[in-house]
């Protein structure tokens, strides 16, 4: 059932038949009448979010809700490179429902606190490949509700680009499916009442999260600002623990109050934090009414309409869909919020950037997938123009769940995926991926030189996943940068060593490059892998960095996943080579 048409049929607060059933107490009648009024108000005030947003209310028939959720999953279960996008939004209340989460699907609770939306049943991400293999379980997410899982355990078998935020699991959580392969993921601002079992996950980052206990490890598990992190430290077990999160602002989120008013909550900036933001109810911050947002629809909006609203001072809510852009979206006003739901996707079609920002305070870009177009772009997202110089320490630009893709759905080309010129920018979870499978994939087809280029000073990254680009995956030119967790596969497909040489006598391009002029940089918990498909191709070193006391790396591992080639050193000339027979996974605990 279309939520908006349903709302138009119920615009007053008439009590439902069950309210006046024989024997009901006056108090119970009042409570049910009030609840009916709230739900009617919520439906009446629901904005037009388009056909691919399913807004669920507690008084909808449970069977109809379940059928709609299953229909969404049937369309998205195997839709790895399809064009459909979906969001399922739950208004405050309790739901007994099974929610499988497929590709390009986001399930969101709309309460001010995650405990305002309670799902009793299964909410789960399942392995998308045979044999319980979750290494391609990408592009899906859950945010802002509580789950009481059937059987006591919630299954979340995922890999990259899967946000898990502001969740309350009233039980245990497993990050795999029957111990099948899984390849790294993200949890933040969440509470798990029981145990979290990472199982076969290769790497994982948990930021500002609380649980009863954690079990499992593989190559590197990173905990930042976590209450009760597991005991032990790298390399046995391979745990990297940072006691406090130095600076972060949580992701903005949609919410609906008791009067049915919709708004976007913008959390406050936190420094040196531990644990979740919502332990006392609503996350501290401020709310922006949805009337201050331009609600975009991919089937009718263009770059011109979106830019006109941005120039007029509107925030931007991108509803699910693919937005084909003939020019970049330009974010020029301070404190502008660009919030995508349902993996809203931006595709530049004319060889331009997809989005640029000015060098101003407080911009927040969240929940957007940037997909390279067929004509090569110089950059997909440029944060600030070249030589940006403003100080943003008190109100930084933040990027939450911004994902990048070159190829896979179709031929895509770019030189740089994400370029950060503004000082003090915070990156809070990103996957920057040149496709290794799908459509339009080949060394000369889906071309991409760099994943991330950082020219600004004081940039902080949490959860940095960057893979398969043809030169440096990360090139960090700014000073005072920090990275908490790094996962990277270097490109599979260099055709020969000559095509994959960065300097005389240097095989390949380091995955993580800190420029020689940098005097201060620090990174924790890094894993870098090779899967070369051609013989006689190797990489001289996984990380290149100046040898200076101010440039420090902690807890690095390299792994050869295929049976060809090697990574000859971990960082500069330290660590030694990977090997297959026997398998050797070099580790460097501290550098220098």
CA 170 to chain centre: 23
Sign of CA pseudo-dihedral 542, 585, 205, 173: positive
E-strand ranges in 50-148 read: 53-56, 86-90, 93-96, 99-100, 105-109, 117-120, 123-124, 140-143, 146-148
Can you read off the two tokens belonging to residue 18? 């069950």
Sign of CA pseudo-dihedral 54, 60, 61, 62: positive
3-state secondary structure 452-499: EEECCCCCEEEEEEEECCCCCCEEECCCCEEEEEEEEECCCCCCCCCC
Q: What is d(CA 388, CA 477) in angstroms, rounded to the nearest whole number?
A: 13
Q: What is d(CA 252, CA 340) in angstroms, rounded to the nearest whole number?
A: 10
Can you read off the two tokens belonging to residue 112? 């001010």
Out of 489, 522, 544, 590, pick the active-site residue: 489
Nearest in space to 202 (alpha carbons), one of 540, 561, 467: 561
**DSSP β-ladder status, 262-267 and 253-256:** antiparallel
Number of H helices, E strands in the chain: 4, 46
* DSSP H or E run through 536: none
Q: What is d(CA 510, CA 518) in angstroms, rounded to the nearest whole number?
A: 16
| Size (the chain), residues | 592
Nearest in space to 339 (alpha carbons), one of 47, 41, 38: 47
Cis peptide before 235 (omega within 30 of 0): yes
Active site residue 489: yes
Q: What is d(CA 115, CA 255) in angstroms, rounded to the nearest whole number?
A: 13
Nearest in space to 217 (alpha carbons), one of 231, 302, 403, 334: 231
Q: What is d(CA 227, CA 247) in angstroms, rounded to the nearest whole number?
A: 16
Can you read off the two tokens belonging to residue 548? 């200076």
Can you read off the two tokens belonging to residue 46? 């629901």
Tell me how crowded residue 98 is: count the other CB atoms within 10 A of its CB. Answer: 14
Residues 6 or more apart from 400 whose CB is under 8 A from it? 250, 251, 252, 364, 365, 366, 367, 428, 429
First-last CA distance in the chain: 61
The DSSP call for residue 111 is S
* DSSP H or E run through 210: strand 210-215
What are the residue numbers of the active site?
A: 489
């Amino acid at each position: 059932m279309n939520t908006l048409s349903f709302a138009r049929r119920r615009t007053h607060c008439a009590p439902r038949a069950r309210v006046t059933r024989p024997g009901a107490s006056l108090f119970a009648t009042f409570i049910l009448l009030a609840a009916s009024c709230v739900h009617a108000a919520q439906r009446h005030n629901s904005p037009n979010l388009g056909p691919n947003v399913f807004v669920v209310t507690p008084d909808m028939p449970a069977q109809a809700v379940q059928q709609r959720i299953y229909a969404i999953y049937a369309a998205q279960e195997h839709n790895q490179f399809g064009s459909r996008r979906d969001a399922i939004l739950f208004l405050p209340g309790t739901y007994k429902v099974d929610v499988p989460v497929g590709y390009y699907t986001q399930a969101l609770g709309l309460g001010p606190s995650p405990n305002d939306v309670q799902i009793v049943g299964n909410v789960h991400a399942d392995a998308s490949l045979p044999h319980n293999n979750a290494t391609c379980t990408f592009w899906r997410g859950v945010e802002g509700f509580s789950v009481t899982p059937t059987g006591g355990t919630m299954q979340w078998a995922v890999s990259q680009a899967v946000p898990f935020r502001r969740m309350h699991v009233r039980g245990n959580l497993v990050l795999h499916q029957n111990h099948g392969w899984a390849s790294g993921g993200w949890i933040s601002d969440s509470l798990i009442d029981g145990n979290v079992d990472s199982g076969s996950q290769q790497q994982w980052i948990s930021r500002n999260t609380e649980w009863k206990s954690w079990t499992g490890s593989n190559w590197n598990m990173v905990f930042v600002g976590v209450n009760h992190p597991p005991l032990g430290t790298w390399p046995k077990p391979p745990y990297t623990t940072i006691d406090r999160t130095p600076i972060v602002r949580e992701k903005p989120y949609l919410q609906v109050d008791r009067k049915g008013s919709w708004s976007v909550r913008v959390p406050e900036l936190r420094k040196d934090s531990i644990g979740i933001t919502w332990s006392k109810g609503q996350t501290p911050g401020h709310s922006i009414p949805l009337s201050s947002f331009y609600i975009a629809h991919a089937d009718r909006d263009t770059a011109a309409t979106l830019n006109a609203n941005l120039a007029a001072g509107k925030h931007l809510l991108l509803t699910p869909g693919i937005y084909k852009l003939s020019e970049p979206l330009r974010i020029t006003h301070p404190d502008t919020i660009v919030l995508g739901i349902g993996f809203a996707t931006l595709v530049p079609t004319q060889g331009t950037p997809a989005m640029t920002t000015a060098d101003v305070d407080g911009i927040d870009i969240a929940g957007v997938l940037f997909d390279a177009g067929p004509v090569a772009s110089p950059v997909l997202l440029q944060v600030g123009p070249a030589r940006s110089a403003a100080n943003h320490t008190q109100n930084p630009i933040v990027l939450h769940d911004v994902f990048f893709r070159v190829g896979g759905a179709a031929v895509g080309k770019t030189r740089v995926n994400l370029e950060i010129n503004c000082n003090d920018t915070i990156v809070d979870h990103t996957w920057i991926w040149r496709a290794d499978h799908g459509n339009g994939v080949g060394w000369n087809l889906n071309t991409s030189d760099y994943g991330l280029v950082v020219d600004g000073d004081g940039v902080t990254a949490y959860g940095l996943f960057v893979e398969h680009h043809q030169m440096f995956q990360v090139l960090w030119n700014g000073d005072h940068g920090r990275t908490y967790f790094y996962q990277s596969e270097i490109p599979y497909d260099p055709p020969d060593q000559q095509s994959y040489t960065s300097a005389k006598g240097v095989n390949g391009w380091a995955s993580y490059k800190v420029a020689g002029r940098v005097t201060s940089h620090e990174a924790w918990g890094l894993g870098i892998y090779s899967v070369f498909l051609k013989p006689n191709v190797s990489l001289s070193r996984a990380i290149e960095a100046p040898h200076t006391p101010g440039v420090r790396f902690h807890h690095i591992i390299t792994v050869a996943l295929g049976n060809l080639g090697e990574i000859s050193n971990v960082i500069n000339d330290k660590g030694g080579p990977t090997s297959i027979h026997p398998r050797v996974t070099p580790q460097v605990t501290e550098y220098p």
